[in-house]
Structure 1
Amino acid sequence: MRKPLAAAFFALAIAGAGAAPATAADTAPTGVGKAADTGKVTSTVSGVVTSATETLSGITNPAPKGVNFAGTVALNNCSGSVVRMPDSEDNDPALVMTNGHCLESGFPGPGEVLVDKASSRTFGLLGASGSRVATLRAAKLAYGTMTDTDVAFYQLTTSYAQIKSSYGINALTLNDSHPVAGSAISIPSGYWKRIYSCDIDGFVPTLKEGDWTWKDSVRYTSACNTIGGTSGSPVVDQASGKVVAINNTGNEDGERCTVNNPCEVDANGNVTVRKGINYAQETYRIPSCFGIDNKLDLSASGCVLPKP
């Protein structure tokens, strides 16, 4: 998982930096995937930074016109973004999306689902150039899990309209259709202020990392060499500008199905290890789980997010 490099084991914060899930304590960024969002790579479950020694802030890979940092956020140990559903309204309370392994309470266990939990977590909102323009605050954790997927949604104290009016920034929209293999994508990391660009290489029926299992994951081509701290970054389709997945992990050492070393498992149980390759979790079915006023409804038709 791809969290800040400080927590090598949980520093790569799953949805954006490849490697096992990491704990996201406010004092020690970590995450499945890659070490701490702070720049250390000692444990990288999903890109959560835990002990990084290098600082990548301000470094930006070339990205297609139109793909920038506007709407992304920096957490203390991961990346994220302000997102809206296709049917969200401007006066709805805004949502921040990041990895489940980036929660301030630590990694949810297999089968654990958190819903409507108290939270006053803060997020650094970035403008197009990557500069911090505001601090947003959570009203609650609406949803969080590392089962089947690796995702969390915080409901903010502000609406989309308020964010637009105050800071001139629009939320990113989740696409409600399945991503397409071969599509060009960009992954803007609010934590590192760095954009990774590559293509969707394909899809993985089952991705296993340590005790966690994810379904129908996105595999990147090698150019998206995400690191700890990129966990939770939105995966943006370059053609539509919409979010098609959330960056969360990658195989760092070539190990088989261990933390920070996810493995691919096919329908017949055959295991494939791809050292240096990173992954994301699809988000196209998530809009079905949010209704009027961005209210979570896990019983809604088409919603397949795990229930508590």
Structure 2
Amino acid sequence: MKKPLGAVLFALVMAGAGAAPAVAAPVSTEDTATPAVKAVDFAGTVSLSNCSGSVVRFPNSADSDPALVMTNGHCLETGFPEPGEVITGQSSSRTFGLLNSSGSKVATLRANQVVYSTMTDTDVTLYRLTTTYAAIKSSYGISPLTVQNTHPTAGTAITVVSGYWKRTYACNIDGFVYRLKEGDWTWKDSVRYTSACQTIGGTSGSPVIDNATGKVVAVNNTGNEDGQRCTENNPCEVDENGQVTVRQGINYAEETYQIPACFAAGNKLDLNASGCVLPKP
């Protein structure tokens, strides 16, 4: 995992990223699907105490719905969910720094519930906020990011937007991994980036945005740091025949297109809804 930043990892990351700009330059037209597309920025992303995330809505969400924040399962404040564990309806008072387009913090948002969290099949946590999309828009002029409800496509130009580092990473979707195994956890149909996206600790939970549509297609979560095989911080790819491939220096994300089907009117979680395939408690 691109682990939540502890003291040791923080020191290592700072040593390795000392020359990184506080805010990345705007994405050039070479990084976008068409020259007419507006460059991806930080609006709607959030910083957590140890990770990145974003305020998200689904295609059928209403402006009056309680807003949601999406990050990784391994960014959950109560610790990593165990393999097979699914957490729903857990009380939370976690806070998030809401960023504007330039990456400046404009507000502190607060959760009242962990709506859904797991590291089984995927690596995601969804928080419910104490405010609505409409209230956020009215107060700060910031709209949520929309989660795409169709499977992403190989070759798509994407940007990983880290609210923690206020930094972006531009590359393409290289392909999809049948099973991505890291330590005790296994994720299904993961996104593999091309090598240009060299994400680091603290980018966990960053939205992966399709440059052409501006929609979220995945949530950034891990990378193989040392070339080890299937260990923590060194995920391995496992194909349908069980063959294992290790790609040192390559980073990954978990798809999010399957999430909208599990939410009903009012942004209410319904794991029994038609088409919902997220793991159940």
SS in 2 for 1:69: coil
Q: CA RMSD in A?
A: 1.4
Correspondences of 1:144-293 after superposition (within 5 Å)? 144-293=117-266
Give the distance between the partners of 1:143 and 1:71, measured in 2 at CA. Answer: 20
Correspondences of 1:53-92 after superposition (within 5 Å)? 53=15, 56=20, 58-64=22-28, 65-92=38-65
CA contact (8 A) 2:182 2:232 kept: yes
CA contact (8 A) 1:113 1:143 kept: yes
AA paired with 1:305? L
AA paired with 1:40? A
CA contact (8 A) 2:4 2:75 kept: no
Give the distance between the partners of 1:7 and 1:91, measured in 2 at CA. Answer: 39
* Distance change >3 Å, CA 273–CA 180, structure 1 → 2: same
CA contact (8 A) 2:5 2:51 kept: no
> Residue 93 in 1 paired to residue 57 in 2?
no
SS in 2 for 1:163: helix
Q: TM-score, normalised by structure 2?
A: 0.93
Match of 2:35 in 1: none
- Deviations 1:14-72 (Å, cap 9, x if unpaired)? xxxxxxxxxxxxxxxxxxxxx4xxx434xxxxxxxxx7445656141542433000000
Q: How many residues are aligned here?
A: 270
* Distance change >3 Å, CA 214–CA 88, structure 1 → 2: same
AA paired with 1:101? H
Give the distance between the partners of 1:61 and 1:304, measured in 2 at CA. Answer: 38
CA contact (8 A) 1:249 1:262 kept: yes
Give the distance between the partners of 1:256 and 1:61, measured in 2 at CA. Answer: 35
* Distance change >3 Å, CA 295–CA 57, structure 1 → 2: farther
Give the distance between the partners of 1:113 and 1:296, measured in 2 at CA. Answer: 13
* Distance change >3 Å, CA 256–CA 103, structure 1 → 2: same
Could you tell me which of 123, 129, 148 is aligned with 2:102? Answer: 129
Shift of 1:142: 0.4
Correspondences of 1:8-47 after superposition (within 5 Å)? 35=9, 39-41=10-12
AA paired with 1:105? T
AA paired with 1:113? V
AA paired with 2:118? T
CA contact (8 A) 2:4 2:74 kept: no
AA paired with 1:189? S
SS in 1 for 2:135: helix
SS in 2 for 1:161: helix
Match of 2:111 in 1: 138
AA paired with 2:143? N
AA paired with 2:205? G
Higher helix share: 2
- Deviations 1:119-147 (Å, cap 9, x if unpaired)? 00000000000000000000111000000
Match of 1:2 in 2: 2
* Distance change >3 Å, CA 57–CA 134, structure 1 → 2: farther
Shift of 1:7: 6.1
Shift of 1:305: 0.7
- Indicate the structure (1 or 2) with the bigger Cα radius of gyration: 2
- Deviations 1:147-194 (Å, cap 9, x if unpaired)? 000000000000000000000000000001100000000011000000
CA contact (8 A) 1:151 1:246 kept: yes
Shift of 1:2: 1.2
- After TM superposition, the runs of 4+ consecutive aligned structure 1 residues lying more than 2 A away are 3-8, 51-57
Structure 2 stretches lacking a partner, 5+ long: 29-37
Shift of 1:6: 2.9
